[in-house]
Structure 1
Amino acid sequence: MPKALLLENLHPQAVSILEAAGYDVTTRTGALDESELIDALEGVQVLGIRSKTHVTAEVLANAPDLVAIGAYCIGTNQIDLADAAARGVATFNAPFSNTRSVVEIALAQMIALTRRLTEFDKAMHDGVWNKSATGAHEIRGRTLGIIGYGNIGTQLSVLAENLGLSVVFYDTAEKLALGNARRMDTLDELLATADIVTLHVDGRSGNAGLFGAKQFAQMRPGAVFLNLSRGFVVDYAALRDAVVSGHVSGAAVDVFPVEPKRKGDPFDSELRGLPNVILTPHTGGSTEEAQEAIGQFVSAKLRDYMNTGSTTLSVNVPNLALEQKPGVHRLAYLHRNVPGVLAAVNATLAEHGVNIEGQLLTTSGELGYVVTDAGAPIDPVVVDALTSRPESVRLRQLS
């Protein structure tokens, strides 16, 4: 049986889909460090992780059996995608499955912060009745500034308008404004306009340090700040200063530059203990509904890639899906994107009397991917001939 290793307490649905597909699945609740992961990957073809486990080039170099990685989350910056692709390890994530959960917690936090619910709650638990309207506001009529107008930012934009917020957004890429949302030409313009600023950028290295003392100073006095994207994009010491000074009236943070690997591990941050600051343990997308959807989505992608060669929505190899007819014998060939590969594949098959029933080729950057269905069993000599070609990355015989 092929082996799968699933880490970081994935939803049972992730396990059941792979087990039903014939995999011997091992699960672990926490993340693994580099050396632990290298040891654990011996003989493993499929790896499933979330955000805490880092799949480095060193890990990949020591995992020759690994064929596919599933990131059961949105982000993939914890994986060396280029090195994985160069070694023929396809990677899949869940770009849509938890967007609703993140949007809902963002809306909840906006309301909680603008109504100063955290301070009222603490006072009540301390036995103090502090009924007051001072500093508490409706979000209706206020302006929400969304930085990063992707899957989450756009859905948040629509729902926020339904609550009576005006929406402005900033994104480095051209994005279609939904509803009555307005695009800001610069980040500075957004910060000068918004009463609530929320970050929903991706994990690319260029976003590191995106938001610091300068950006907090440019925010409107008394504005609210949220980060549910990546911990390394914000200078939290600068955020602390902005909250303590009162320039930022409240903040909600779900992600941190360094996060504990396992549930129950100690956590510390310069933001602890501040008034009207909500800290959550990277749970923006952690609802039962989202985790079930992610488990289903990613495990199905891994299963389909392993069984049929489908790379649809892979984040690091060319995307294609060739419909498979009964009785065919399939080769999935990942190769360097150089001229003449398709001709060489077909010539090799022809030399050995193999008739092609279906074929699809696509390329992306430095890689090409061709899936070929043959009408008869493919001789091992053909497989060896293609594998030994200089442009070969990985050849899999699927049926």
Structure 2
Amino acid sequence: MFPFMQIESFYRSKVDGLWLDDEYPAVAGLCQEWLASLIPKSMGNLKVGDLKPAGHAMKAMKWQESDYPNSDRLHFALAMALSIPGKNTDALFAAYYDTLDQQSFEIGAHMEDINGKIQDHPKIDVYQAFSLLSGREYYSVARRIYMTELEHVRLQAVARDDVGVFKWTLPEETERASVVAYTAMLEFPVDPESAIYKGVVTDEVAEKALFRRQVSKLRHIATAMNDADTSEVYGFQRPLPAEIPVLEPFKENAFPRATAETFMHAHRKPDFAQKVMRDAFQVTGCFFDLMQNNLVGYCNAGYVQEVTQAFIDAGLSPSYLMSTGVCGDLEGDSPVTLKRALSHLANMGPRNWTFYGYLYQEFLKPYTTEEIIANCDDDRAIEALSQITGDRAYIENASGAALASICERDLGL
């Protein structure tokens, strides 16, 4: 039994299916005080064979017989003590680390159950608990105890601009950490003045890497197949500090979703041209790289046209975008020929024609229809040009399967 009757009574009621909501904060506080009182002044002075705090807790509960296992009592007490994060949270993690680590599932189950039963008191604040821990070495255990994912805690840190918690949720391997950091940062509008931005984007290499991911996000938006997919791609609106929703155990964040109207589209920002020209080759590939399996039957043609025009307005010619994006040429290679560009058009397939249609229209402007037709070695190119331009001249030069496909499309078959 617990050495405190108030804790014992509350525990028995909970096990029997009765939740005493009014008593919850006081009992949680008692659990904190009791478990903290068992922590020696210096954990480092413990010798082999000495009882650790969890051992002392088990010993204290064995003085009286009980019809419930004391191991479950300890799991319950730890969950209660940690359910209201406060001044003892970090010390409890350090002192009871082995038990928390080895019995995380059982303690986490109590944590989830407690959170589900709380009625008239604040729900368990997972982020607050993480913010009180003194090192990343506790994060793996805390993730299991609070039944959450580090990704969810990371997004809370971005919303609150908590660079300390943010960095401790990242992988320790530097390159992978950068990728994970940029991905999380782009779930919200990027703020160059934030502590997280200044702590992560520390040089020009990082600035370029982050911008590439912003451009890749434009492509994802353009190819999102439905409203749900688009909503996820846009990410979240940044809430005011007082409006940040609590991250609860076993739940995801409830941040307000961004929309097409609230999302900060990178190509519409004043510094887009400057950032594009500073890293033209890499950035071009992020949006225009020909990925045969990336487009699956849907493309927002108007949005793609808008982004494509932004690249052209930034100072990159349609020929450059065609060479380095569609054709995969290296920077400094000879400009792509008309014949080669049309060959890629024939081979890319109908699913990609809509995405690259506007770029081809801009690329083909210097050429006459006769020149274009003369450089088509494949009827598929003729079919694509008919769809992209709507010019009847291409239909007149089509034959075989390409002509049949054009006619079927025109008839809506």
- Normalised by the length of structure 1, the TM-score is 0.22
- Normalised by the length of structure 2, the TM-score is 0.21
Answer 1 or 2: higher relative contact order, Cα 8 Å, separation at least 6: 1
Rg larger in structure: 2
The answer to which structure has the higher helix fraction is 2
